[in-house]
């Protein structure tokens, strides 16, 4: 039996993400926290979390390499959701060319460590994640819940595909990063993101051609 099934036996692909968020809020209360890069999935998750009663922080790591449109989307979301506290974390920026020489080290310094430091300070027991199965092969087996120390991960959107997410954002009139509509289906730092080509996974434009698929925030060595 999977971790999700053992926690909540009736959950399946038809379970609404907001029900999963509501469960997490009831269980973790103020020990639940969100991080976001303000991609399509992330915006949907933020809206659903607010609808479910979340009133906490949204952590965003400003690596210094984000697209202007991403920062503008953050600002639009801050205005759209006054009930939330959006926190932009400053990255460690020791070498401006590190993304070319050692992207794993660059992600560690500019993303993973700043977030881990903030999480060490806040010490939440669980994190809401916007990851979904159709984003990449590395995410296709995700469960609703990953029990772990020091933080469990709650993944309410695993069964929602792009079409459904897009429909939701339109119905809810949510601010979306305009680069998304230009084919940037997953948007990270400018030097490491390209538009996705027809037939590719939504994260295929991240670190394209390098073999790297994750920044490390959500891997076992990360949070
Ligand atoms: S995505 Fe690229 S620029 Fe951004 S932190 Fe990672 S390696 Fe550095």
Split at pLDDT 50, 70, 90, the class of 169 is very high
Split at pLDDT 50, 70, 90, the class of 5 is very low
Output the CA 96–ligand 1 centroid distance in Å: 10
Question: For this structure, is 215 an active site residue?
Answer: yes
Predicted pLDDT of residue 3: 55
Which residue stretches of the chain are H helix? 3-7, 17-28, 40-52, 68-80, 98-101, 103-107, 113-122, 162-172
Q: Which of 100, 97, 87 is nearest to 36 (CA)?
A: 87
Predicted pLDDT of residue 23: 95
In the structure, which protein residues have their CB atom closer than 6 angstroms to any atom of ligand 1? 63, 65, 99, 103, 106-107, 110-111, 188-189, 191-192, 215
**Is the Cβ–Cβ distance between 144 and 11 less than 8 Å?**
yes
Predicted pLDDT of residue 219: 65
Which has the minimum average pLDDT: 50-54, 70-74, 82-86, 134-138? Answer: 134-138
Omega of the bond leading into 150 within 30 degrees of 0 (cis): yes
What atom of ligand 1 comes closest to residue 192's alpha carbon? 2
Distance CA 51, CA 45 (A): 10
Domains and CATH numbers, the chain: 3-192 (3.40.50.620)
What atom of ligand 1 comes closest to residue 109's alpha carbon? 5
Share of the chain above pLDDT 70, in %: 94
């Amino acid at each position: 039996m999977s971790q999700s099934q053992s926690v909540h036996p009736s959950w399946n692909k038809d379970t609404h993400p907001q029900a999963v968020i509501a469960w997490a809020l009831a269980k973790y209360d103020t020990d639940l926290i969100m991080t976001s890069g303000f991609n399509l999935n992330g915006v949907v998750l933020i809206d659903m979390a607010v609808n479910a009663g979340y009133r906490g922080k949204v952590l965003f790591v400003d690596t210094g390499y984000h697209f202007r449109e991403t920062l503008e989307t953050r600002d639009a979301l801050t205005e759209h959701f006054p009930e939330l506290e959006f926190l932009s974390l400053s990255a460690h920026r020791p070498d401006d060319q590190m993304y070319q020489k050692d992207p794993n080290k660059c992600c560690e310094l500019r993303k993973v460590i700043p977030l881990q430091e903030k999480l060490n300070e806040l010490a939440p027991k669980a994190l809401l994640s916007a990851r979904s199965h159709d984003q990449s092969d590395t995410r296709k087996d995700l469960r609703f819940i990953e029990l772990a120390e020091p933080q469990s991960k709650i993944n309410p959107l695993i069964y929602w595909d792009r079409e459904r997410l897009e429909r939701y954002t339109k119905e809810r009139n949510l601010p979306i990063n305009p680069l998304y509509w230009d084919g940037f289906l997953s948007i990270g730092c400018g030097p490491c993101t390209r538009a996705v080509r027809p037939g590719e996974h939504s994260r295929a434009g991240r670190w394209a051609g390098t073999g790297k698929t994750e920044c490390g925030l959500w891997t076992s060595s990360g949070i």
